[in-house]
Amino acid sequence: MVKIVRLYSGVTIDLLQPITLSSTSAHYLQNVMRRKKGDKVIVFDGKSGEYEAEIKYMSRGTVTLEPKKKLAEVSRPTDIWVAFTPIKKIGTHFVIEKCTEIGVRKIFPIFTEHSENKNLRIDKWKLNSIEAVEQCGGNFIPEIRENTSLGEFVDNFPEDRKLIFCNEVVKEPNLREIFTKDNFSKACILIGPEGGFSDKEREMLSSRKNVYSVSLGARILRAETAVTVALAVWHSHFST
Ligand code: SAH
């Protein structure tokens, strides 16, 4: 059976309203997946849901689709956010990809004492996220926020949400342990940079009311591994 292609549309989809694909998606459909006029694809916009569409027009670099049938509403993951410190390009791409695949509502890039406030290519990250969602079968794209400092992030953190501070210097409590004791269904996972958090940052975080310092086990994980592990454990407890 031919695998059905799933594509993201940057414009909101309406039934029977033609959609002109971006040149990247048009190229992918024509030259990589070798689809033809009349073939069916799945298209989603991350807002209104997911549709079956027919390829109505195809010429070099231009493809128009017609959404024929709504297949599903947008499937938002349960209410988890991730805040992390982007440092290396590959690690960052990994974080964005895994957050999208496993399921996260919002992603906050933050800068800390052991990182720089670099000019981030958030537009590129959105493309990573779109690619990940196209291939994993989801239809929700996490919101990626602008870069903020750790201090600013914590100052503006909502009171009704718990901040899970993944703290590499503590041995306990373990993440699983806190999840069996309290309800963390509305939470944000905070992961530090490669150089870890500074003592001052640890103190600041520990003095806040809705911040919970946790260990992810005896080993020091790379930031991108730590994000994946923490998210998987969170989902196994609180995903609905
Ligand atoms: N340079 C630091 C390690 C930083 S690891 C050191 O050698 O100590 C990057 C981030 O991943 C950490 O700031 C933390 O948020 C998370 N992390 C990695 N391993 C962890 C663990 N065992 N427990 C809790 N958080 C961890």
Q: How far apart are the C-alpha atoms of 174 and 217, rounded to whole Å?
A: 7
Q: How far apart are CA 28 and CA 176, in angstroms?
A: 42
Which atom of ligand 1 sits closest to the CA of residue 217? 22
Q: Is the CB of 10 under 6 A from ligand 1?
A: no
Which mutation among 211, 221, 224 tests ligand 1's pocket best, with the greatest number of atoms within 8 A of CB? Answer: 221
The domain of 115 spans 80-238
- Is residue 136 packed enough to be buried (19+ CB in 10 Å), middle (13-18) or exposed (0-12)? middle
Structurally, how many domains does the chain consist of?
Answer: 2
Ligand 1 atom 11: residue of nearest CA? 223
End position of a domain, from candidates 30, 54, 72: 72
DSSP-H helix ranges across the chain: 23-27, 89-102, 122-136, 150-155, 175-181, 199-206, 223-238
227 Cα–ligand 1 center, Å: 10
Domain annotation covers residue 174: yes
Torsion of CA 92, 98, 101, 106, to 10 degrees: -60
Share of residues in the chain with pLDDT > 90 (%): 90
Place of tokens 């549709």: 51
103 alpha carbon – ligand 1 mean position (Å): 22
Give the CATH number, domain containing residue 14.
2.40.240.20
Split at pLDDT 50, 70, 90, the class of 120 is confident
pTM: 0.93
Q: What does the pLDDT look like over 35-69, one tens digit per residue?
A: 999 999 999 999 999 999 999 999 988 999 999 99
* Cα-to-chain-centroid distance, residue 140: 9
Query: What pLDDT, in 10s, does the model give residues 184-205?
Result: 999 999 999 999 999 999 999 9
